[in-house]
Chains A and B, each alone.
Chain A
Amino acid sequence: MAGQSCSQLSLFTPDEVEFMAEDELVEIVPNLRMDSLNFICGDYGPFYPQIAIQVPLWLALALKKRGKCTIRPPQWMSIDNLTQVLEGERESHAFQSLPFHYVEISRLLFDHARDDIPEIYMVRSLVEDIRDVRFHKVETNLENFTASAVTWKNMAAMEVNIIRAFSGRALQAFYRHENEQLIPDLDRTQDRQPQNLNDRPRRNLRPR
């Protein structure tokens, strides 16, 4: 049978979310000379020593591991910006604007590019505080679900992934309960036991 043991097809593992984050562009300063790289996913280069260039994160990390470049932390990861964001998060109910993959990008840079980030301990603690405050907001907002479409501005990929399964099932349950009141299920035969299979097709739903 087809591989992956995950029975819930629609869930992304954190590694897969990180995989998607690795395509984001970052700036690096190479210390070698290299011709253009013509990848399937795009063309990058040519690389000149001490000339900054934008490359995808996975490429930056690969070069960094081999000692061929230094990575410049992105603008949003400066201490000033992060302090501002943290204050904004604490003050308002809405989410502050951060890159969609900020969790993954910051994690990867902390792990592999420690020496390229000035005052890394401060930056790291700020990012963790921001994550905590935002997730706390997510949890509080979960109490306000209704059956209709829920919208959220500025939520990040990792946060979405964490609540995806739970909120999907919760919203589905809300929707089903709300609709059952309006549309009676006319086709229950008397001798059928009420079955709880998730996949059982619904019968004769009249469009509203």
Chain B
Amino acid sequence: MDSGTGEGSTSFTDDYETFISTTDVDLLKRAWRNEKAAPEILQYEAALRSSLQEQNVEASEADGEDPLTMSLYQMDLDRTQFLLRSYLRVRLQKIEKYIFHILKTDESLNRLSDEEQTFAASCGDDLRAHLKETVLSKLPTDYNSELKQSAASEEDDMVPAPRLDSFVICKARQYISGLDFEPEYSHEITEMERDLLTFVCYKFIKKPLENGKIDLV
């Protein structure tokens, strides 16, 4: 529903009732689940993060009431913070895992937030410096790039890329016809019914996932 160019919840949602009854926490839970299950890094939910941070601040300033209510509010706050922290942590792990790939693909770089981009740049620099110092400087000139195996390689084959053909488990939130999938995969997967658990190759459902029509489980 709200993955896209970072504009938050879009206005042309299909189901009005789910739009008004979905809280920020639901959206965060969905984003967390999708991020955890997907092999590559997904679009950063900036609007969600900022609205949650405001609510966090309000909640922690709640004035002293009886201990029971305070502890319940604290529990709710803890739960939300866990989701937020785990979401950010999973993203950082993915960045670290595919650091060079993210740095060289614009598409992946645009999915990061500003702080994540700074982190990725400095992490890449550190890793590059470390590899140079320990190994690459001692190899002959043709072989000492951290991106290519040798000067004869045509592309950057030392860079691990996320495996888009890994299988994920997903559920469609509404009926999806063949038009929602990329045309080149249209003979692999033609439709998906609502609420049916499907094991499918990640790259087939990448497009409907970005449009918010599919949830990873």
Contacts and interface: CB of A to CB of B under 8 A. Distances in A.
B216 to A, nearest CB: 9
A164 B165 contact: no
A171 B69 contact: no
Interface string A62-75: 11001010000000
A23 B23 CA distance: 12
Contact of A199 (B94, B160, B165): B160
Interface residues of A, number: 48
Contact of B163 (A23, A40, A199): A199
A10 interface: yes
A157 interface: yes
Given A9-B94, A41-B79, A153-B196, A34 B69 contact: yes
Interface string B83-106: 000000110111011000000000
Contacts of A153: 196-197
Contacts of A199: 160-163
Contacts of B189: 148-149
B89 A160 contact: no
Taking chain B's interface residues, is the majority helix, strand, or loop, or is none over half, making it mixed?
A: helix
B93 A2 contact: yes
A10 B97 contact: no
Contacts of B90: 9
B121 interface: no
B147 to A, nearest CB: 12
A32 B184 CA distance: 60
B159 interface: yes
Nearest to A198: B163
B161 A175 contact: no
A40 B76 contact: yes
Measured as residues with beta carbon below 8 angstroms from the partner, the interface class of chain B is: 35 or more
B68 interface: yes
Interface in A119-153: 148-153
A58 interface: yes
A201 B159 contact: yes
Interface string A186-208: 00000000000111111100011
A201 B157 contact: yes
Interface string B191-213: 00000111111001000000000
Interface string B21-49: 00111100100010011110000000000
B197 A151 contact: yes
Given A34-B69, A149-B200, A167-B167, A40 B94 contact: no
Interface of A: 1-4, 9-10, 12, 19-20, 23, 34-35, 37, 39-42, 58-59, 62-63, 66, 68, 148-153, 155, 157, 160, 164, 167-168, 171-172, 175-176, 197-203, 207-208
Given A3-B92, A175-B201, 6 more contacts: A4-B89, A10-B37, A20-B33, A41-B79, A160-B197, A207-B184
21 contacts: A3-B89, A9-B36, A9-B90, A10-B37, A10-B39, A10-B166, A10-B168, A12-B36, A34-B68, A41-B76, A150-B200, A151-B197, A152-B198, A153-B197, A157-B217, A167-B167, A171-B167, A198-B163, A201-B157, A201-B159, A208-B187
